[in-house]
Amino acid sequence: MSRITLNRRTLTRAAIALGVVLILVIGIGFAVDSGSKSDSTTTAPATATSSAAAGSATPAPESAAGTDLACGKPATASSTASGANPASDATDCGSSGSWISGSGAAQWLQVDLGASNTVDHVVVVWGTDYARRFKIRTSTDGASWHTIEEVTDGAGGTETVALPSGTDTQWIQLYLEKSAKSAAPLYSVVQLEVYSLPGASSDAASSSAAAGAATSVATSAAGSTSAQWTGQFAGYGTVAWKAQWGYTDTGQFGKADLSEVTDSTAPGGGSALRVYYGAGSSANSCTDCPNPGGGQFYQQLSSLGATGTAMENSETLDLKYSIKLPAGWDFGEAGKLPGLYGGTIGEESGGNHGKDGWSTRYMFRDHGGAANAGEVYLYTPTNAGPTGYGVDYFGNWDWTADGNWHTVEQLVNRQTGSVTVWFDGRQVMQDNDIATGISAIPFSGVFFSTFFGGHDTTWGPKAAEYAYFADFSLSTAIQH
């Protein structure tokens, strides 16, 4: 994350002085023609404290930095101190005023750009009350949010926050977490400006990824590129959600036991997928289990356009997601959790796998006296164990059942066969040369697979349990 602090007054004076010098040297007077401003009124969403720019609209300013995409666009906020300082003052093209929040450390200000745009950087012009710590978040639907940059040492004034190259979004949110004012914290933003690269084109809103999923190809400062995808669970099961996830019905089961829930604590925007596991439940193949439980579906990167193709053919792919298990969760004998897969669906698990598929799901299993020990459960064409039902590679972590969200991340290298795992940002496993025989099998995407088992009644929990999943993301580079 890079941030540039600018002094607008100094820049303005310098620009004026340069203009005077040019006029004196060239000796030409320029007449300034003031055009009239057209009246326009826009309406912000009714679901938040909001106000849209109304009345006289100033054209979006253009400069070497590009055009301010937020100029005159609808703005909404978590709260407003008074009607005299609405959210729209932050996107009024510099006409007047500023947005001032209500009191409280956690606040947000967001703008709807009206269509998907490739965004390069955000400029925040602070008032007296600025944020010491804040995040820039993006959304394709205005409901599910993904953090793309974070500032932890805000200094006020005018701050420019560079965004990852290739950031495509319709909504930009300024998520404020810590105020510079210790007593009765609040925030004031004179302007929230959003810029694309000069000459960059905007896509129509209909072509943007909706329902909490986004794809992009980002270029690092070193010049290397990384393909990226994020997926939430807002709108789970709808046609739009399936399209943005690259979901396929092939190989799925347990639809009735998977459901979208709202959770304000869920990373990525407040939506989560809840999975039900019935008492005594096991794999879908269990014919005498007293209750059903768990579920499974596959992602197909081939359905995600150029970004999906880049991830399919990459040497490495990194999957990161969040999981929440209620306190006292019964781990039973063992169970599966989502991971990555490659190749043909149906040839990466289940004991009847073939030569054209592989997978790296997680498991919780009794190991060393801990029923919640973490492991990677591996299938490859050349490494699926003596029975063909997968190989257990235990790491140095336990799955935590405390009612809080935890992140798990795995990086698979198809060329070296290495698998690396991080739990809550701490590396807990790195095994080299275990995912053998997969160098010629492309990545296929997320293998969302979770159930107890095993294939019989001995594996499942004694009573019904629920697990929660949120904020899935893929990248050809390490994410944490």
Residue 37 has pLDDT above 70, yes or no: no
- The per-residue pLDDT for 103 is 85
- The per-residue pLDDT for 207 is 34
Percent of the chain with pLDDT over 90: 60
How do beta strands 443-452 and 295-299 pair?
Answer: antiparallel
Which whole number is the average pLDDT over 171-182?
Answer: 89
The pLDDT-based confidence of 16 (bands split at 50, 70, 90) is very low
The pair of three-digit structure tokens given for residue 462, joined into one six-digit string: 């004694």
Percent of the chain with pLDDT over 70: 79
Q: Check the CA dihedral 381-386-391-394 and report its sign.
A: negative
Task: Please list the residue range(s) of the chain that carry CATH number 2.60.120.260.
Answer: 3-15+45-202
CB 333, CB 452: distance < 8 Å = yes
Helix, strand, coil distribution of the chain in percent, nearest 5? 10, 45, 45
- The per-residue pLDDT for 229 is 94
- The per-residue pLDDT for 134 is 93
Residue 342 has pLDDT above 80, yes or no: yes
By three-state DSSP, how is residue 49 classified?
strand
Which whole number is the average pLDDT over 301-325?
Answer: 95
- The per-residue pLDDT for 185 is 79
Task: Please list the residue range(s) of the chain that carry CATH number 2.60.120.200.
Answer: 225-475
Provide DSSP, 364-396.
Answer: EEEETTEEEEEEEEEEBTTBS-TTSS-EEEEEE
- Rounded to the nearest integer, the mean pLDDT of the chain is 82
More confident residue, 246 or 34: 246
Residue 26 has pLDDT above 50, yes or no: no
- The per-residue pLDDT for 48 is 46
CATH number of 3-15+45-202, picked from 2.60.40.1120, 2.60.120.260, 3.30.980.20, 3.30.43.10: 2.60.120.260
Which whole number is the average pLDDT over 44-53?
Answer: 39
More confident residue, 145 or 110: 110
CB 167, CB 138: distance < 8 Å = yes
Q: Which of 232, 207, 287 is nearest to 456 (CA)?
A: 287
Q: Check the CA dihedral 110-111-115-121 and report its sign.
A: negative
Residue 17 has pLDDT above 60, yes or no: no
pLDDT digits (tens, 9 = 90+) for 408-435: 999 999 999 999 999 999 999 999 999 9
pLDDT digits (tens, 9 = 90+) for 79-122: 998 878 899 999 999 877 899 998 887 899 999 999 888 898 99
- The per-residue pLDDT for 386 is 77
Q: Which of 170, 239, 240, 235 is nearest to 205 (CA)?
A: 170
- The per-residue pLDDT for 208 is 35
Topology of the domain covering 225-475: Jelly Rolls (2.60.120)
The pair of three-digit structure tokens given for residue 212, joined into one six-digit string: 């909490």
Query: CA 199, CA 285: separation in Å to the nearest integer?
Result: 56
Residue 223 has pLDDT above 80, yes or no: no
Which whole number is the average pLDDT over 62-74?
Answer: 76
Query: CA 136, CA 175: separation in Å to the nearest integer?
Result: 6
- In the block, which residue shows the tokens 């977490």? 177
- Which stretch of DSSP H or E encloses residue 22? helix 8-26
Which whole number is the average pLDDT over 45-73?
Answer: 54
Residue 392 has pLDDT above 50, yes or no: yes
